[in-house]
Structure 1
Amino acid sequence: MPIALYLVLREENLSQVTLAIRHLHDEQILLDNGGLYWVAVDQASDSAALAVQCLAAMPANARATLVCCEHSSQELASKLAADTGPGLLKLFDINKADIGLTLKSLVGELTRTAPAADSTLVLMLPDSAWQSDVAPQLQQCCLSLRQWLRARQCSLLVISHGQASQLHDRLLRLNDTLSGLAQLYRRDGGICYQLHYWRSELGVCSGQEFELELGEGGFALSVNEQANEQLSHTDDQRIYLTQRPVLEGSPPLSDQWRLFESREDLLQQASRARAASIIVAIDSNRDVEALARQIHALRERCGIALKIIVREMEPCLRYRDERLLVSCGANITVPYGTTLAHFFSIIDSVQGQTWRRSRITDFQLIFERLRPPAERGLLAPREFIRTLERVYSGASGEVSHQLLKLMPRGGLAIEQYLNQIGLRRFGDVACVVNGAFYLFLFACRADGLEPALGNICRLSWRDLFSDFQAFPGLEALPREDFLAETSLPPTFILAEERTAGSSAGAAGHGAYSPQRTTLPITDLCS
């Protein structure tokens, strides 16, 4: 760590330290002395905004230490206004290459900085920090930190950034060690804040989810959340408006059910509802966009208390289609093959729910957010990286994708396997770097990876490749290797040129055309 810098900003009476997310209750954001709190953020820019907001809200007599890796502590401190922040702020930066060793001796490093009692530490780390070969075990590190914090009555806020789901799963198992755990991530154009648990002197909060907005002053509870935090019960909350095919010929369960032959009649009646359950059917992929538009208009007209349920009557919805329907206002999509009894249980489970997604008034904007990039097939490594940057930096980065590295089986060159790969969907791209095959599948869930590999490989993918390595995001790739490679594999270019030449030659000589031939009956019998 470099020599610390000291910023003396102002002095006032000492008060409590919080995350300072506006309009959340104190028990949801308060940090206790001796507590270890962790907020996992998917985007680095959002983690920086949260850190600045927390520091800016600290009282004038507070003493704080900011330790950063992949962020600049001086740059973050420079965003504090002259009349905000702690009276004393120490700044430290950790080199990314040294992060594993630093974590291994983190307690000793923090002791060396000699924070005073009742001080607050903010530690900003990438998720990849725990993937270092020399990094300590996460649980053991947190236990050591908790003991150290309690002995000195200091509080520590860890703000990690990245999309490493394995790290999040490990953090969920540390509820006896951490004082608080929350996630902040982008979803469908909005910002979701998921509070797994939070302990302070005001009590314990758990299992809560909020929609936030990011403005000049930092994060705050969204206007929609504030307006609808306490929804009053309405007269139609136990009314069910449904298309007749949804019930598979069964009669209405009670007088509260209203059946309609067509979707248009159902939606016209639903436009006057406020908290009823609206159940629509879909049996063709061609109807997805039209249904999404209708659901979006219904949600805009009726508000967030309406329960909109889409039942798939034939297997037609892809992952992206489901996300589009939910982003436009559906509470849930029920997959094809769900039994009628299970379907009724699902309907019961959504009663009392409110639709908590970000409300975007422009349907075309929602549609564009989930549109795949125009590229597909084999790309040059540099173009591959640029395509993925657009995906992960844009809204489509909120959809689950698969980023893989596959090693060829046997001693053949990777280019000799390319003829067995067919990437037909827009957004599915690949490249070759240092003899390895890198593959990106747009809008593909982890449970759909095996079928996807089966669709794009003419032979079994296990016969072509020995295994694959999945990456959590773009930051996990060896970026320098990709930028050093600027062209497609030469043999692949030659193969394309030969194909083009063969097609041109065939066009010049004229193509063969089929002719009718009648065989004698004797020839047919023989």
Structure 2
Amino acid sequence: MTSPFTLGFDQVRDELMLMQPSGCYWLTANRQEDARILARQCIAAQRSVTLIASGLAPETLLSPAPVGGPAAIPLFSLPETRRALLAFTNDLARVLPEKPRLVLFFAPATLWEKLSQEELRQWTKRLQHFLAAKPIALLIISFGSVINTLRGQLQTLYRHVDGLAQLDWQQDSWDYRINWWANGGGMLADRELRLALNMDQFTLQEQEQSAPLTLNDETLWLAEKSVLEGAPPLSNQWTLYEDNADLHNRAQQANAATVIFSLQHNDQIPTLAEQIHNLRRTRGSGLKIVVREMRPSLRYSDERLLLACGVNSIVPVNATMSRFLTMLEGIQGQSYNRHVPADLQALMKSMQPLQARGYLTLPEFCQSVTLLVNNTLLPENGKGLLVALRPVPELKPEQALTLCKPRRYGDLVTLVGDRLYLFLSSCRFSDLNTALKFIFQLPHDEIFSNRLVWHEDLQILSEVRQMTSQVPTAWRDAPVPRAPEQTVAAPVVTERRQPQNIILGQDSPDNLP
């Protein structure tokens, strides 16, 4: 019985790196230098190996000579052509002896761009038939700039490939991710190891994670088409959808892809929050969810609601395309670790608790503001702004009130003495001038002579208590007394004189002699 072959990693369990005879295993790496170290380390751990290279001379992989490994290594080169790749299985059958050995095929990922998805499937299927019942294991190591495209194609070939893994450089270490791996004891899937480079060999840096990771589609980008501003898909990993509903339906099968929703109008917020909440609760923390604001529509409370539902990042409307793409790069590798409540309606109610707007009487105003500020589900010192505005001397407070038109739920106004009090729910201090501009029909700097602003919870509650003290609670609901009746003298009615017609040119009867 032929013994299994090994990748040669130091301190890694055998079941994660053993390769069984008659099996085909595929490793991918972003950088060629990482793939070269991986190949040399594997060669050094074998008793018998055959090296096939494409795109470079096989001798370059063995210079300097690896420490260990067989004394003699057969070397072959494969031209970077479609014809040579399709004839690969026939060439193996012609040149390989029926002896136990590991065949290492080292080639750039661009070589498989010459094959369609179906041709690649047929190619791996022929390899599987060739290796069946032979004491040979085939290890393919690929690398290059288009490696993500190849990785996406290999995800569907689990029937014909016994092991698939990838090596990604992380600046100071390497992530070794196993999609699936068959060994003598069965098959493992979804594992991640952190490797370090020591003396030109990869070694285990830390203990492997106990929980499986599902990262097979992490290089996919699923987006609503308007987020690219009319541009076509940026690469083969990008897929565009007509609207957010189609995007949501596709994202329900994703695990770690980047999902990008568009926001055109504020009316979309409830539906968008429901879609994001569903994805985060059902697909887990690996999914990267992004919302791009296409038109000015997001309020601070809306941003907090979307973040609480599971959004990784919100791209503001003023972000350029380059800035947008940079923000997408910034969230790669992230995991959403915040808790998302199961009850969406309760979550939305807690994020947007005030369902009133406009003018309220002073008692109603104080009660509403106090309830909101005491809501522990909202962020501390971030529930809104309390603003006191004093009109200019030429303007009465009642006249200034007629110019106040709050349009947003949670924006309240009341009158106290010679001042207007505004409460702007979920409004940041930096946005105060913008909010006042939309609330008042005339420039607010011309209407009011001064203003006071409270933004911290304790400050707001303290001021509301002082406002409440001005309400005469003891007799607030008492009936209004009627004024005493008074006797009014009846007016004197005089007879109204009636006009008389006078004919000019005739003598009046009063003037006759």
Q: TM-score if structure 2 supplies the norm length?
A: 0.46
Determine which structure has more spread, i.e. the larger CA radius of gyration. 2
**Greater relative contact order (Cα < 8 A, sep 6+):** 1
Specify which structure has the higher proportion of helix: 1
